[in-house]
Structure 1
Amino acid sequence: MIDFSTIYKYSIAFSLAVGTFISSCGTEKKSEVQQNRISRPGEYVGYSEAIYAEEYDISSQYVEMRDGVKLAVDIYRPKDKKTGEVIDTPLPVLWMHTPYNRRYSGDTEEKLTVDCYAGTASELVKYGYVVATVDFRGLYGSFGHNEGFNRGEWVGPARNDAYDITEWLAVQPWSDGNIGMWGCSATGGSQMQAATTAPPHLKAMFPMSFDFDTYAFRVPGGIGNPSRWPQPDDGLTSQQRRDRWAATVDGDEDSTLLKAAIKQHEGTIESAGYVPFRDGYSDELTDEASKQWWVKSSPSTYLDKINQSGIAMYMAVNWDEGYTKHGPYFAFNNITNPTKIIMGPGVHCDWFTAQDLTGFDILVEELRFFDYWLKGIDNGIMDEDPVYYFTYNAPKGEEWQTSQEWPLPEEKRVKYYLGEGSIATIQPTDGGQDETRVNYDFKPGTNGKGAIVYETEALSEDVQVTGHPEMSLWISSTATDGDFVATIQDVAPDGSVSSYHIQGQLRASMRKQAEAPYNNLGLPYHSSNTSDEKLLVPGQPTLLEFPILPISMVFKTGHKIQLAISFAGRGTPKIEPAPKVTIYRDAEHPSYLVLPIIE
């Protein structure tokens, strides 16, 4: 888990605290602030004040779900600046449903989850919010049984837990009934799960780096890991290791309740196991209704219910993360509730890179969004363009741009044809083909080894690529199946290579395309069902079409755009003897890369 505590400690010291300083100067100055209010992405002055102390109160207890299972809940409430007393005024509540320990960040008692986890909501307590964190059932301090570890909220009765917690929070004396959620990755996904049950008091959420079509995230292109969660090598099971760091609740000084909760953790099922097809069934899970795992655990399955919920969503994702960046783009284009989306630099759940590069602070966006939806502050956030995105290598001061739509309406989808070691917008007349023996040691995203590489000439002008590339690849193989990975990289004049997970992949036997059950942005969609499997005929040319993860970047003048085609991804089984693969690039079998160009 990334430690954000140092990065965010003073992250809103200027753009938010300035409002507090000015607003404390009397009636005349307040009028001046009203005239100079600022509310725009990354800036927020004059609307919201840090009126409470930096230090907050922590309490914890068990909350009983509808089936009698008790979940461990931590509650963080603001204190008065002068007296240090806990504020009793009913306030909006922001909560996170987590499989990663509600109390502690990592295997230490020195750092709190609310201070360290992406979107550090503890920083919002002083602005007049109550914050809560809740352990998934069957994990850490909560009672019950867990299956699927960090996706365990989709299994059996656990699917109702978010509803029950939300409605419990809404009726507490320190709550004003306006509830929001926050979190990233699995805790972004748990927000989407909460939306499928539509708790009446859940008004807004800020999900980061979550999945929408879970199969496309976990088994992209039909290529997946047989086991996602390996066992630790310390002699303990994963569950026993988590139980070591479980936190008690108030009043459980001798850990009697915690020990009873841990006793119920016996028999935890860490993973749904290897389920290679979208319509496949898990042999690991015991809940019958959840066995068709990818269908059961995908927010896209519940689109009607999510859209009926009306819950406002501010989605966030980073360019430099892997297949976790698949979800928000499609959710944004399929969810009809009030939505916004922000796309930043950095890796998974990493927003300090944006702050380092441009001074942008994601916490400002959280505060603006929750102020609007939970406090009714008319700060104009929903009047802005709903899309806010960062572009790598853009001119200084122009890295952030807005749009009414995603993909950008001005994109031009340009074909770059494969030639002899080259890609160009003009299809070569001589054609040809490239042959190679599959190298199973190749790691996608590295330069060269085990891949067939194609490059543009050195660019004569800057080229901006913003959107979703896709690959159209004619291949044959001496084997009846194989994995194909396309990676786009930026090659500098000195030969150095950079990439931001601009990658797509497809297992050849899963090449059958179908109409997507949701708005797939016009990209190739593979249903990947059991009946779709179609093996290759050795030596027969076959077309593979598949999407590549999105990006926004400028390839600078003098640089080259590189396409690396490799034949092994995460989860690729080794074939012996290593097959010979052919890539075709002739008039009858034109292979090309499609890039979304912004002129």
Structure 2
Amino acid sequence: MSDRNFTVIENTFITIADGTRLAARMWMPENAENDPVPAVFEFLPYRKGDGTCARDESTYPEFAKAGIAGVRIDIRGSGESDGVIDGEYTELELANACELIAWIADQPWCNGSVGMMGISWGGFNCLQVAALNPPALKAVISIASTVDRYNDDIHYKNGCHLSAQLSWAGTMLAYQSRSPDPALVGDDWRAMWLHRLKEEPFFLEEWLQHQTRDDFWKHASICEDFDAVKIPSMVLAGWADGYRNTPMRAIEGMPDRAKALIGPWVHKYPHFAWPKPRADFTGEAIKWWNKWLRGDDNGMDDLPQMRAYILDGPKPAPHRDFDPGFWIAKDTWTQPETKTVYVNDGRLAFEAGDESAPAADIYLKSPLDTGTASGEYFTLKPDAEMAIDQRPDDAGSLVFETAPLEAEIDLLGRPVLRLDVECDADWSNLCARLVDVHPDGTATRVSFGVLNLAHRDLEANYNDPKPIPRGQKVTVTLVLDACGYRFKLGHRMRLALSTSYWPMILPAPFDAGLTVSPSSIAFDLPLLGAHEKIEVKEPDNPDPLPKYIEHKPGRTERSVQRNLTHNETRYRIYEDTGLHEHPDSRLSTRQVRSETWTINPLDPTSVKGEAAWTCDLERDDWSVRTDCHAELTCDRDNWYVSAWVIGYEGSEQVFEKTWEKTIPRNFM
């Protein structure tokens, strides 16, 4: 069938029931009003006109050529949409999404069937909306998302406070502070912008007031009731991203409705992600939509429940263009069989040690700056955002490793660690890492997990953390993140334990140590088991992202500096997108992000984070800029949060706002 012609509607306003106008960009197949088509809807706060335009232009034209309309809508307070955003995945956001789905289905060009799709925010809310069961929503594709907002997002992880929470609050402050485009909204742009600046929230204030898994986080976490999602859901992720657990959790919770695909990728769509190999996302998505939105008998309902790329011993590097490995499929996903490794005579071994002669306990207190090789929680580029060689972090850790392996071991699933510990404070953070040690000593992180030991009773204590009884050993279970990995012949497996993983997780308010009982360690490794080796088609176009006009080049840097005189470690991130002009809209944009974390390795209350953004928009003689700054510090009892935003029209300052709040620490 030949490609269908289509038109692009750069901006149209949809007025919802409360009178708010939401801005949409649409890709409309030719003659759709006479030959109605299904539609795919994406609902984001990331600005359709400049924030996501490149990826939208790599995807939605392909849908439109296949006779599927694309409808990309900005959440209120974003881009050209009216109003002010009220938070992440709020009842209002999800209700608006349901209303928009009904509006789309009711249009004369739509056949009444709507799909919802997205990555990250859009991957989250398409699953969340599916759980609300709007009648016209027939299927979803969710990429790099979560089913558990507390334990598997950028806020907290098993009770540990992720530094990404400040980073993301700064990012959202920057996104929401940007102006609408006057070319699309007309003379109202300035009033809309100033209203947005005046009323926009600083999300970190709300997030930090919910430090346990309370009703705030249970809202929109579909793991609370997987049965609420009744439609087919394709769930994708990448091993190089922080959201790698979701496909497995989705098919375990929705075995008759979900399909999983996990590749080697960072936090990007699979048809232009790194590390390669990539996947033909648009081709497969079109088949998915044709099956569930048109009723085509094309076999998409018979996809294997799990398809995954098994990494074959990649080395960490400053840039990972391609990761060696192979694709496998499992028609039915079941909990994997496990191989348990123990600590026997000081080494990891596949046989337990002599129970009558237990090994002596070992005291562990990592330097508080252990973790600078961890990379970002979610990664956008295959450089030092990914975990680098683990040897610097392992130097501050308690390490056990096997002898060189005498046979390959293939893993797919979530490793589980059990051990007995005693803490010399009310609690400590614990990080466990599974590491592949290459014959030359290079150390690749395969999987990791973190746990705030006050949250050690995973089901009972997420909303009721408890201190560790002093002078008593407690048994701790730590579930690490999912992995798909081959340990090669001659390589060694390493288990690295640390009480710090900074700056990825922020320290407890006291510099606590742990007494670890090596004889208690049992590390269950999920075996790949029976599988079929498959091919996953790569995209026909190896470089699908459009190229915009570059006026100033971009630059990215990540660095760690240790000031030995003042005993301070500084971790710095600098990213400049460069100044680029869209050739059609002629809008030029630039964002500069500077994020710095500092800590005295002997003082957990010295930790400080600063996230700063400068965002420029310009066209001809019109220009606006916002400078945003967010900061987080602490003492033993409190978190101290502050932020400010300044707006400029041309060179003139037209707005300034500050936030400042003290929030008590709650086992955090």
- Report the TM-score, using the length of structure 2 for normalisation: 0.68
> Does 2:374 match 1:455?
no
Letter in 2 for 1:442: T
The match for 2:223 among 290, 295, 300 is 300
Look up the SS of the partner of 1:143 in the other structure: coil
Aligned in 2, Cα 1:267/1:355: closer, same or farther, shift over 3 Å? closer
Look up the SS of the partner of 2:229 in the other structure: helix
* Partner residue in 2 for 1:378: 297
Following TM superposition, by how much is the alpha carbon of 1:542 offset from its aligned partner in structure 2, in angstroms? 1.6
Look up the SS of the partner of 1:499 in the other structure: strand
The match for 1:115 among 57, 60, 68 is 57
Look up the SS of the partner of 1:529 in the other structure: coil
* Partner residue in 2 for 1:192: 127
- 1:169-219: CA deviation from partner (whole Å, max 9, x where unpaired): 112222222211111111101101211321111111111111111111132
The match for 2:282 among 363, 386, 391 is 363
Following TM superposition, by how much is the alpha carbon of 1:555 offset from its aligned partner in structure 2, in angstroms? 0.3
- 1:272-328: CA deviation from partner (whole Å, max 9, x where unpaired): 221454444xxxxxxxxxxx3112231223534323xxx221111112212x22333
> Does 2:90 match 1:154?
yes
* Partner residue in 2 for 1:131: 70
- 1:207-239: CA deviation from partner (whole Å, max 9, x where unpaired): 111111111113221102378245999xxx954
Look up the SS of the partner of 1:62 in the other structure: strand
Following TM superposition, by how much is the alpha carbon of 1:147 offset from its aligned partner in structure 2, in angstroms? 2.5
* Partner residue in 1 for 2:448: 503
> Does 2:505 match 1:571?
yes
Look up the SS of the partner of 1:187 in the other structure: helix
The match for 1:175 among 101, 106, 110 is 110
> Does 2:159 match 1:222?
yes
Asked if the contact 2:77/2:176 (under 8 Å) is kept, the reply is: no
* Partner residue in 2 for 1:488: 434
Aligned in 2, Cα 1:238/1:361: closer, same or farther, shift over 3 Å? closer
* Partner residue in 2 for 1:399: 326
Following TM superposition, by how much is the alpha carbon of 1:92 offset from its aligned partner in structure 2, in angstroms? 1.2
* Partner residue in 2 for 1:333: 252
Following TM superposition, by how much is the alpha carbon of 1:257 offset from its aligned partner in structure 2, in angstroms? 6.0
Letter in 2 for 1:594: D
Look up the SS of the partner of 1:215 in the other structure: coil
> Does 2:97 match 1:166?
no
Asked if the contact 1:354/1:361 (under 8 Å) is kept, the reply is: no
Q: 1:16-165 counterparts in 2 under 5 A?
A: 49-53=1-5, 56-78=7-29, 89-105=35-51, 111-115=53-57, 120-148=59-87, 151=88, 153-155=89-91, 157-165=92-100
* Partner residue in 2 for 1:597: 527
Runs of 4+ in structure 1 displaced over 4 angstroms?
230-233, 237-241, 352-359, 394-398
Aligned in 2, Cα 1:581/1:394: closer, same or farther, shift over 3 Å? closer
Asked if the contact 1:416/1:423 (under 8 Å) is kept, the reply is: yes
Q: In structure 1, how many angstroms separate the alpha carbons of the residues matched to 2:101 and 2:369?
A: 48
* Partner residue in 1 for 2:532: none
Asked if the contact 2:313/2:487 (under 8 Å) is kept, the reply is: no
Q: 1:267-278 counterparts in 2 under 5 A?
A: 267-271=199-203, 272-275=206-209, 277-278=211-212
Q: In structure 2, how many angstroms separate the alpha carbons of the residues matched to 1:394 and 1:438?
A: 28
* Partner residue in 2 for 1:580: 513
Look up the SS of the partner of 2:486 in the other structure: strand
Look up the SS of the partner of 1:585 in the other structure: strand
Q: In structure 1, how many angstroms separate the alpha carbons of the residues matched to 2:279 and 2:213?
A: 42
Aligned in 2, Cα 1:362/1:173: closer, same or farther, shift over 3 Å? same
Q: In structure 2, how many angstroms separate the alpha carbons of the residues matched to 1:249 and 1:329?
A: 44
- 1:321-377: CA deviation from partner (whole Å, max 9, x where unpaired): 12x223332222223663211111112235257787446322222111111111222
Following TM superposition, by how much is the alpha carbon of 1:112 offset from its aligned partner in structure 2, in angstroms? 3.6
Between 423-432 and 454-463, report the one with greater CA deviation.
423-432
Aligned in 2, Cα 1:100/1:355: closer, same or farther, shift over 3 Å? closer
Following TM superposition, by how much is the alpha carbon of 1:486 offset from its aligned partner in structure 2, in angstroms? 0.6
Between 440-449 and 185-194, report the one with greater CA deviation.
440-449
* Partner residue in 2 for 1:314: 234
Q: In structure 2, how many angstroms separate the alpha carbons of the residues matched to 1:480 and 1:137?
A: 43
Aligned in 2, Cα 1:255/1:422: closer, same or farther, shift over 3 Å? farther
Asked if the contact 2:148/2:221 (under 8 Å) is kept, the reply is: yes
Between 472-481 and 358-367, report the one with greater CA deviation.
358-367
Asked if the contact 2:418/2:478 (under 8 Å) is kept, the reply is: yes
Letter in 1 for 2:462: S
Q: 1:204-219 counterparts in 2 under 5 A?
A: 204-217=139-152, 218-219=155-156
Following TM superposition, by how much is the alpha carbon of 1:471 offset from its aligned partner in structure 2, in angstroms? 0.8
> Does 2:348 match 1:417?
no
Following TM superposition, by how much is the alpha carbon of 1:482 offset from its aligned partner in structure 2, in angstroms? 0.2
The match for 1:466 among 396, 408, 412 is 412
Q: In structure 2, how many angstroms separate the alpha carbons of the residues matched to 1:470 and 1:542?
A: 16
Aligned in 2, Cα 1:210/1:478: closer, same or farther, shift over 3 Å? same
Asked if the contact 1:355/1:361 (under 8 Å) is kept, the reply is: no
Asked if the contact 2:118/2:141 (under 8 Å) is kept, the reply is: yes
Aligned in 2, Cα 1:368/1:99: closer, same or farther, shift over 3 Å? same
**Higher strand fraction: Structure 1 or Structure 2?**
2
**Higher helix fraction: Structure 1 or Structure 2?**
1
Look up the SS of the partner of 1:465 in the other structure: strand
Alignment length, in residue pairs?
A: 494
Letter in 1 for 2:331: Q
Following TM superposition, by how much is the alpha carbon of 1:90 offset from its aligned partner in structure 2, in angstroms? 1.9
Following TM superposition, by how much is the alpha carbon of 1:550 offset from its aligned partner in structure 2, in angstroms? 1.0
Aligned in 2, Cα 1:314/1:380: closer, same or farther, shift over 3 Å? same
Following TM superposition, by how much is the alpha carbon of 1:575 offset from its aligned partner in structure 2, in angstroms? 4.5
Between 456-465 and 59-68, report the one with greater CA deviation.
59-68
Aligned in 2, Cα 1:238/1:504: closer, same or farther, shift over 3 Å? closer
Letter in 1 for 2:305: P
Q: Which runs of 5+ in 1 are unaligned?
A: 1-48, 81-85, 281-291, 515-525
Q: In structure 1, how many angstroms separate the alpha carbons of the residues matched to 2:13 and 2:102?
A: 15
Aligned in 2, Cα 1:334/1:247: closer, same or farther, shift over 3 Å? farther
Q: In structure 2, how many angstroms separate the alpha carbons of the residues matched to 1:238 and 1:358?
A: 31
CA RMSD across the alignment: 2.9
- Report the TM-score, using the length of structure 1 for normalisation: 0.76
* Partner residue in 2 for 1:428: 353
Q: In structure 1, how many angstroms separate the alpha carbons of the residues matched to 2:255 and 2:422?
A: 42
Aligned in 2, Cα 1:70/1:239: closer, same or farther, shift over 3 Å? farther
Q: In structure 1, how many angstroms separate the alpha carbons of the residues matched to 2:419 and 2:412?
A: 21
Aligned in 2, Cα 1:187/1:174: closer, same or farther, shift over 3 Å? same
Following TM superposition, by how much is the alpha carbon of 1:114 offset from its aligned partner in structure 2, in angstroms? 0.7
Look up the SS of the partner of 2:199 in the other structure: coil
Q: In structure 1, how many angstroms separate the alpha carbons of the residues matched to 2:168 and 2:148?
A: 27
Aligned in 2, Cα 1:76/1:388: closer, same or farther, shift over 3 Å? same
Aligned in 2, Cα 1:326/1:238: closer, same or farther, shift over 3 Å? closer
Aligned in 2, Cα 1:137/1:420: closer, same or farther, shift over 3 Å? farther
Aligned in 2, Cα 1:335/1:247: closer, same or farther, shift over 3 Å? farther
Q: In structure 1, how many angstroms separate the alpha carbons of the residues matched to 2:11 and 2:496?
A: 52
Following TM superposition, by how much is the alpha carbon of 1:390 offset from its aligned partner in structure 2, in angstroms? 1.2
